Chain A
Amino acid sequence: MRDKAVEKGIYFMNGDHACCEGAIAAGCRFFAGYPITPATEVAERMSIRLPQVGGIYIQMEDEIASMAAILGASWGGVKAMTSTSGPGFSLMMENIGLGVCTETPCVICNVQRAGPSTGLPTNVAQGDMMQARWGSHGHYEIIALSPSSPQEMFDMTILAFNLSEEYRIPVLIMADEVVGHMNERVVIPDIEEIEIVNRAKPHAPPEGYLPYRPGPNGVPILPNCGDGYRIHVTGLTHDERGYPVMTADAQAQMVEHLVNKIVLNREKIIKTTSFYLDDAEVVVISYGITFRSARSAVEQIREAGVRAGLLKLDTVWPFPEELVRSLARNVKALVVAEINLGQMVREVERCAAGRCRVHLVPHHGGAVIRPERIIEGIRAALKRKRNR
């Protein structure tokens, strides 16, 4: 079973399929989902691959149930995931919140397409970035990653599982139609070269054990169902025993804990990739498929003598606040390129806090931003006198 899980080799593979291979390599053995363009290929391949490694694939009646099923599977002790696109992502929101509140490790891959509503099912967008952050009700933290190629779909799906197991939280892979449907070379390494994180298991005696008490890194050490511990799993505000407590104090303690286990570990969680930041007078900030256009734009404009740098957000949530704040102190302008009319740019503006110009290169969705538009954006940002 094990060698079937990591089929080492060099492939020409689309991003959706690479996501599946990453998931199975990371130890995912349960998938519940409802097919939707452009994420159908994830479900399709999982339905073929999971039975080969002793896993379970279930096609659910909808995305609400899909999300519920992976939470249940995770409590059963299995690494679990689902995949979807915009309309399904909206339906998953309530149960993503349940996963956050119950501290349930799981992975959700959103292959973004253009919305709102049914929108452009077969075309690209990055319009769900703020929904990823705030789509479920209440105040919470979340982890979201943004892959820019099929290889990164493989690598980041492994990372998503590792983060979800370590911090006991749903982790979102915010992919997009182009990355999902694009075929490129994908190198699947030897199983020995893949770092896998598995959730910590309790060793304390069941008597007097407090399942929801935060462990050393702020994350509770929870048993799986059937491990011999008494465990109560609820979306109601609960105490360290896991039992509902309907008071403002309990609410403060629980929400503080859910937020802090991510915020206080953010340096370990956040990953970014930098290009030419040392001498940059203007820095482009981008993520996912748009990063590739941004990189092309930065390489071209540097040849023309403009000292441009590039920051790629591998992790989009939590947002790299400290880094963007320090960039804002040292550059004339930050340029944000994204396939929406301004979502992550709000975070950049918040962190820049007026210390430098912030210029948006937006796109309504349906196509990838052309590098020329980002070059124009860099030039416009450098020329602009005041902030928008």
Chain B
Amino acid sequence: MKKRERRIFFTGFGGQGIVMAGDILGRASAIYDGKHATMTQNYGPEARGGACSSQVIISDEEILYPYVDRPEILICMSQEGYTKHVKNLVDDGTLIWDEDLVRPGKGNKSWNILRVPATRIAEEMGHKMMANIVMLGFLTAVTGVASADAVRQAIKDSVPPATVEANMKAFERGMEYGQAVLKSRSKGNG
């Protein structure tokens, strides 16, 4: 049987928690879903504001080559990240973007395209910096790439103790938004 690997690519700019999002997803898979997972990161010499990305591979088997050159799921939280990486998304891939931060170009017809106002939702909740967690909730709901319980556990492990509750709320809001999008789609199709 061909081994099943999921390849996910998060892109945005420094300070958005792009690497943390990748870390949480990898942690959820490697520790709580019992899979193999590898997270690598890419950033420039700047501490904040520069382009950055994190790449996650989730597999039933040992992961060798660690980069995601051709993601099947691409999450864009900046225009620059979208412009730079959208061409790498595989046919039939899933493209997700923060609708207030990215103005998309022409896509590939085979792509599953989903957008979410992750930063706006986080701002409405009073924690703009939790946009990455809202995005993780959305990603979990629309792709099932990791189990929701595993991601919840991984968030608890990763965020400062005083912010666990707010982060869990942000995750659930992202999940709800994703579930609502799926529901409206299935209605649209039926």
Report if A164 contacts B (CB, 8 A).
no
Report if B44 contacts A (CB, 8 A).
yes
One of A122, A292, A295 near B42 (C-beta < 8 A) = A122
Chain A residues whose CB sits within 8 angstroms of the CB of B63 once the complex forms: 184
A368 and B65 contact, CB distance less than 8 A: yes
| Alpha-carbon gap, A367 to B66, bound state (A) | 11
A178 and B65 contact, CB distance less than 8 A: no
Nearest-Cβ distance from residue B31 to partner chain A, whole angstroms: 6
A183 and B23 contact, CB distance less than 8 A: yes
User: SS class of chain A's interface: helix, strand, loop or mixed?
Assistant: mixed
One of B37, B42, B65, B154 near A184 (C-beta < 8 A) = B37
Contact with A along B61-104 (1 / 0, CB 8 A): 00111110100000000000000000000000000000000000
Chain B residues whose CB sits within 8 angstroms of the CB of A368 once the complex forms: 65-67
| Alpha-carbon gap, A297 to B64, bound state (A) | 10
B30 and A185 contact, CB distance less than 8 A: yes
Chain A residues whose CB sits within 8 angstroms of the CB of B27 once the complex forms: 12, 183
Report if B39 contacts A (CB, 8 A).
yes
Q: Which of B20-53 contact A (CB under 8 A)?
A: 22-23, 26-27, 30-31, 36-45
| Alpha-carbon gap, A181 to B30, bound state (A) | 16
B45 and A289 contact, CB distance less than 8 A: no
Chain B residues whose CB sits within 8 angstroms of the CB of A296 once the complex forms: 64-65
B37 and A185 contact, CB distance less than 8 A: yes
A295 and B64 contact, CB distance less than 8 A: yes
A292 and B26 contact, CB distance less than 8 A: no
Report if A182 contacts B (CB, 8 A).
yes
| Alpha-carbon gap, A182 to B41, bound state (A) | 7
Contact with A along B145-161 (1 / 0, CB 8 A): 00000000010000000
Nearest-Cβ distance from residue B185 to partner chain A, whole angstroms: 33
Nearest-Cβ distance from residue A150 to partner chain B, whole angstroms: 9
Q: Which of B124-163 contact A (CB under 8 A)?
A: 154
| Alpha-carbon gap, A182 to B55, bound state (A) | 10
B40 and A12 contact, CB distance less than 8 A: no
Whether A185 touches B45, Cβ cut-off 8 Å, given contacts A370-B69, A371-B64, is: no
- Interface core residue of A12, A367, A371 (most chain B CB under 10 Å): A12
Report if A10 contacts B (CB, 8 A).
yes
| Alpha-carbon gap, A295 to B30, bound state (A) | 21
A121 and B45 contact, CB distance less than 8 A: yes
B31 and A178 contact, CB distance less than 8 A: no
B65 and A122 contact, CB distance less than 8 A: no
Q: How many residues of B contact A (CB 8 A)?
A: 23
Q: Which bucket holds chain A's interface residue count?
A: 20 to 34
Tell me the nearest residue of chain A to B69, going by C-beta.
A370
Nearest-Cβ distance from residue B153 to partner chain A, whole angstroms: 11
Whether A292 touches B65, Cβ cut-off 8 Å, given contacts A12-B23, A122-B45, A185-B30, is: yes
Whether A371 touches B67, Cβ cut-off 8 Å, given contacts A12-B26, A178-B40, is: no
B39 and A293 contact, CB distance less than 8 A: no
One of B23, B44, B66, B67 near A122 (C-beta < 8 A) = B44
Chain B residues whose CB sits within 8 angstroms of the CB of A371 once the complex forms: 64-65
| Alpha-carbon gap, A292 to B36, bound state (A) | 15
- Interface core residue of B31, B43, B44, B65 (most chain A CB under 10 Å): B65
Chain A residues whose CB sits within 8 angstroms of the CB of B26 once the complex forms: 12, 183-184
Tell me the nearest residue of chain A to B57, going by C-beta.
A184
Nearest-Cβ distance from residue B14 to partner chain A, whole angstroms: 11
Report if A85 contacts B (CB, 8 A).
no
Contact with B along A280-295 (1 / 0, CB 8 A): 0000000001001101
Nearest-Cβ distance from residue B173 to partner chain A, whole angstroms: 25
Contact with B along A181-225 (1 / 0, CB 8 A): 111110000000000000000000000000000000000000000
Tell me the nearest residue of chain A to B44, going by C-beta.
A122
Chain A residues whose CB sits within 8 angstroms of the CB of B45 once the complex forms: 37, 121-122
One of B23, B42, B66 near A289 (C-beta < 8 A) = B66
Chain A residues whose CB sits within 8 angstroms of the CB of B22 once the complex forms: 183
One of A10, A121, A293 near B31 (C-beta < 8 A) = A10
| Alpha-carbon gap, A121 to B66, bound state (A) | 19
| Alpha-carbon gap, A295 to B63, bound state (A) | 10
- Interface core residue of A182, A296, A299 (most chain B CB under 10 Å): A182
Nearest-Cβ distance from residue B41 to partner chain A, whole angstroms: 6
Chain A residues whose CB sits within 8 angstroms of the CB of B40 once the complex forms: 178, 181-183
A184 and B64 contact, CB distance less than 8 A: no
B37 and A370 contact, CB distance less than 8 A: no
Chain B residues whose CB sits within 8 angstroms of the CB of A185 once the complex forms: 30-31, 36-37
Tell me the nearest residue of chain B to A299, going by C-beta.
B64
Nearest-Cβ distance from residue A37 to partner chain B, whole angstroms: 7
A selection of 25 A-B contacts at a CB cut-off of 8 Å is A10-B31, A12-B26, A12-B27, A12-B30, A12-B37, A37-B45, A121-B45, A122-B44, A178-B40, A178-B66, A182-B39, A183-B37, A183-B38, A183-B39, A184-B26, A184-B37, A185-B36, A292-B64, A292-B65, A293-B64, A296-B65, A299-B64, A368-B65, A368-B66, A370-B69
- By Cβ-Cβ distance, the 7 closest A-B pairs, closest first, are A12-B27, A296-B64, A183-B39, A185-B30, A292-B64, A12-B30, A296-B65
